[in-house]
């Protein structure tokens, strides 16, 4: 038995040594390939690419080191009671007379790296019209302009663009020159996609056109810390007296500046100052995939579905065990970001995102999520906010909600209509004929009255006339080859409308 044990140990050691040699060879090959790519970069872009590749090398090194899942399920605990505060408790503190002083310490950062491809649009998603001809970007600028005018403050807007959105966004920014908002931009990194088999970059040079159009990617919003720091903008804002950033997705129309949360941050004692706040909200069955907060190794930590072992996915999705999810509305200390970047102490779990490009080539891209850094900051806190602060527009189904009379628009902010009797939004599922914004718009002569709607499902070739009213549960299904035109002025309440426009009670 002793001999067998020694032999097993020896084999294990040999295997570990072999794996280490393989890892080193892969890192060496990756280093060589990246140097080759850099040699094709020209001028100022070469310096930017060099910094990007330093970040990529670090991520790739960590990716090769990872053994097994990033969390041990048995070590997961519910967060302590006081680590997730109810919003009402924060609000109860009220606001000081000098709230402008707090606002002058704030910077609003919007994640603006995404394209509108999922809604059939070319160019940045932030330039899609969502309400009264206003784009996501228009609404954001209007909100901050209103804030600055009302409180005589100077809150700047910072856009984190990607190489996909930067050029188009910068062209549009000229139209805001006379608005009362300073607007800055910086670019997130550009990383090479990796061949899934060889684990080496697919790109042959630094060009981004032709064959190379598909071989680069922006590495997720966790890249904000490094790219913000590398851009020099972080240092500049600190020098201007800014202390906190409020970060959110530009397509979350509920993510407005909340004065109560800001006041809570700024008014805390120095010794116990909170460096990171994550806004969470109660989970519904529609949010089962959203990341949640857990206690792990004595720290608050974000747990994403991608990190959950397969055997525990159903448990993760349960509304009873994990009651809240991350809205990606985050309040973060600028000086803490600077400190963690300089100490190289920003630790975020790697998300391996598989893709298929160039006529079937399987690649992977390594990404990180901005909220995953919560464990690196001191005195991090979750605040359980009302659902109204999470209003993302990812699909035309979401777009229908925000264009409807469920919401009123004032100074760039959407507010649920007081005429709706309950605060939840209806569940809307529009079929594939509505996926692209242009086609979706042709199917509505005007947006229906949805104040009393609970659930809407539409499938197939369906159009809506003017002043249609939808109440309760409405299901409209046009079979293949059929077309349903809902006549102008129709009122559908708890109805199923099937292929030949028979209207049945539901």
Catalytic residues: 394
Q: How far apart are CA 288 and CA 293, in angstroms?
A: 13
427 touches 457 (CB < 8 A): no
Q: String of b and e for 67-102 (b: at least 16 CB within 10 Å)?
A: eeebbeeeebeebeeeebbebeebbeeeeeeebbeb
3-state secondary structure 248-310: EECCECCCCCCHHHHHHHHCCCHHHCCCEEEEEEECCHHHCCCCEEEEECCEEEEECHHHCCH
**112 forms bridges with which residues in the sheet?**
161
Q: How far apart are CA 286 and CA 401, in angstroms?
A: 15
Look at the alpha carbons of 54, 56, 59, 65 in this order and tell me if their dihedral is positive or negative: negative
Q: Which of 127, 131, 128, 114 is nearest to 412 (CA)?
A: 131
Q: How far apart are CA 505 and CA 472, in angstroms?
A: 11
Q: How far apart are CA 306 and CA 505, in angstroms?
A: 42
Tokens representing 136 are 């996501």
Q: Which of 259, 278, 277 is nearest to 105 (CA)?
A: 259
Q: At what angle do helices 2-38 and 44-65 cross, to 10 degrees?
A: 170
Q: How far apart are CA 84 and CA 132, in angstroms?
A: 37
Residues 6+ apart with CB under 8 A from 315: 321
Phi, psi of 108, rounded to the nearest 5 degrees: -95, 125
Q: How far apart are CA 441 and CA 427, in angstroms?
A: 19
**430 forms bridges with which residues in the sheet?**
458
């Amino acid at each position: 038995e002793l001999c067998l044990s020694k032999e097993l140990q020896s084999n294990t050691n040999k295997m570990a040594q072999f794996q280490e040699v393989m890892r080193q060879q892969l890192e060496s090959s990756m280093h060589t390939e990246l140097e080759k790519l850099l040699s094709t970069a020209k001028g100022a872009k070469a310096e930017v690419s060099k910094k990007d590749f330093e970040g990529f090398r670090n991520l790739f090194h960590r990716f090769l080191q990872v053994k097994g899942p990033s969390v041990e399920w048995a070590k997961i605990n519910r967060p302590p009671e006081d680590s997730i505060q109810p919003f009402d408790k924060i609000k109860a503190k009220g606001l000081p007379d000098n709230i402008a002083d707090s606002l002058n310490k704030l910077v609003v950062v919007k994640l603006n790296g995404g394209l509108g491809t999922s809604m059939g649009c070319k160019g940045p998603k932030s330039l899609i019209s969502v309400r009264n001809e206003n784009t996501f970007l228009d609404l954001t600028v209007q909100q901050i302009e209103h804030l600055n005018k009302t409180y005589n403050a100077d809150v700047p807007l910072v856009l984190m663009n990607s190489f996909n959105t930067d050029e188009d966004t910068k062209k549009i920014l000229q139209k805001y020159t006379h608005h009362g908002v300073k607007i800055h931009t910086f670019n997130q990194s550009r990383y090479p996609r990796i061949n899934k088999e060889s684990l080496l970059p697919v790109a042959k040079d630094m060009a981004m056109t032709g064959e190379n159009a598909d071989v680069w990617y922006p590495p997720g919003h966790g890249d904000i810390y490094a790219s913000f720091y590398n851009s020099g903008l972080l240092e500049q804002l600190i020098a201007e007296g800014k202390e906190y950033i409020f970060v959110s997705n530009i397509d979350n129309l509920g993510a407005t500046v909340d004065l109560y949360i800001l006041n809570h941050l700024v008014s805390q004692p120095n010794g116990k100052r909170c460096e990171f706040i994550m806004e969470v909200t109660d989970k519904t069955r529609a949010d089962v995939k959203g990341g949640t907060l857990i206690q792990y190794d004595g720290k608050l930590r974000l747990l994403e579905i991608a990190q959950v072992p397969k055997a525990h996915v159903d448990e993760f999705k349960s509304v009873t065990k994990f009651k809240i999810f991350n809205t990606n509305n985050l309040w973060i200390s600028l000086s803490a970001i600077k400190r963690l970047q300089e100490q190289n102490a920003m630790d975020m779990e790697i998300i391996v995102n598989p893709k298929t490009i160039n006529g079937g080539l399987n690649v992977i891209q390594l990404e990180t999520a901005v909220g995953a850094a919560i464990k690196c900051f001191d005195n991090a806190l979750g605040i359980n906010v009302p659902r109204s602060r999470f209003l993302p527009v990812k699909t035309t189904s979401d777009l229908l909600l925000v264009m409807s009379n469920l919401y009123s628009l004032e100074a760039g902010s959407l507010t649920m209509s007081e005429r709706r009797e309950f605060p939840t939004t209806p569940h809307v599922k529009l079929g594939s004929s509505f996926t692209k914004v242009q086609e979706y718009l042709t199917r509505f002569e005007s947006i229906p009255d949805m104040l009393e709607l609970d659930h809407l499902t539409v499938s197939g070739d369906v159009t809506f006339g003017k002043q249609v009213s939808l109440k309760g549960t409405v299901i409209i299904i046009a079979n293949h080859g059929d077309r349903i035109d809902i006549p102008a002025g129709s009122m559908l309440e708890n109805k199923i409308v099937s292929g030949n426009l028979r209207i049945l009670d539901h």
